[in-house]
Amino acid sequence: MTDVFALPDAAWRYVRNRVARAVRPVRGRARARRRVAMTQQLTRVPARERCPVCDAPGDWSWRPVVGALLAFQWRLTSRQRAIVDVQQGHSCGSCGLNLRARGLARAILDVAGARAPLASGLASKPGLRVLEINPAGGLTPYLAAASLHVCTSYPAVDMQQLPFPDASFDMVVHSDTLEHVPDAVQGMRECLRVAGGGQVVFTTPVLPERRSKRRGRRALRSYHGGDGGRSVVFHEFGADIWRLLVAAGAVDVRLHLEDFPYVVTISCRGHLRPEGETTA
């Protein structure tokens, strides 16, 4: 005899099973597509002989890192998502640093006129003073090889109001920090000020197909994890990011491409200010 009270439960279980069975292949196909997309992208990453940071011969690993929520908030196409996956998830098997950090390291060596690997390259430049605005993607222990190395933490030390005199460093480095600074122009102006006529070298997420925009107050708040905290994203940068740098006082802007389109590192330089001129 059928237990009539068990029927709704059984019916519910039936519906749930039917739905799960219908959805499973769709989700599976989406995952498989993503794996294929990333593998296709990776085959186009030229194999560099050695890691510019730790000098280990290439032993790379990768894993996708962009979650569905972030992809939705940033309105990323599957190609853009795959690019960020490679940039952030393609790691050196020895030092563990991702492609973004390795691209930044190469740009730092480039503007310093030094040879890889990073630590010995910086150590070979006597008197080099480096300010790291925020621990830059795992490069901190390597940047410490510079003659003077100061590492602060944003937002504890505000990039818009740096507590250092003009021209107190030769190089200022930050990595994926600028998008979290409410007044990005003021932030870059301060970096250029403390760098004197020296270089500011940084990465920040840039979508070359778009124009820069400030995230609206009413937009869904977007966060990037990392550095143990969750920081609000104020800016989405696009192809016109150079305008921000010029507005901040840069007179020379360079793009350093690491297996484009995966990593674009930017370096810029301001005027060497004459003695006595104030920048406030």
**Site of interaction with Zn ion (CB under 5 A):** 51, 53-54, 56, 92, 94-95
The minimum distance between CB 88 and Zn ion, in angstroms, equals 15
Q: Indicate the residue among 101 and 207 with the shorter CB distance to Zn ion.
A: 101
| Residue 102 burial class via C-beta count within 10 angstroms: exposed 0-12, middle 13-18, buried 19 and up | buried
Q: Indicate the residue among 95 and 128 with the shorter CB distance to Zn ion.
A: 95
| Residue 201 burial class via C-beta count within 10 angstroms: exposed 0-12, middle 13-18, buried 19 and up | buried
The minimum distance between CB 139 and Zn ion, in angstroms, equals 11
Q: Which residue, among 83, 84, 147, has the nearest Cα to 112 in the 3D structure?
A: 147
Which residues partner with 203 through β-bridges? 175
The minimum distance between CB 53 and Zn ion, in angstroms, equals 5
Structure-block tokens of residue 253: 């802007």
Q: Which residue, among 209, 208, 137, has the nearest Cα to 173 in the 3D structure?
A: 137
The minimum distance between CB 59 and Zn ion, in angstroms, equals 9
Q: Indicate the residue among 93 and 229 with the shorter CB distance to Zn ion.
A: 93
Q: Indicate the residue among 53 and 245 with the shorter CB distance to Zn ion.
A: 53
Sequential DSSP letters for 203-222:
E--EETTS--EEPPTTSPP-
Q: Which residue, among 266, 267, 263, 206, has the nearest Cα to 239 in the 3D structure?
A: 206
The minimum distance between CB 55 and Zn ion, in angstroms, equals 7
Residue 278 CA to residue 20 CA, distance in Å, equals: 66
Strand, helix or coil at 199? strand
Q: Indicate the residue among 97 and 233 with the shorter CB distance to Zn ion.
A: 97
Q: Indicate the residue among 38 and 92 with the shorter CB distance to Zn ion.
A: 92
The minimum distance between CB 174 and Zn ion, in angstroms, equals 21
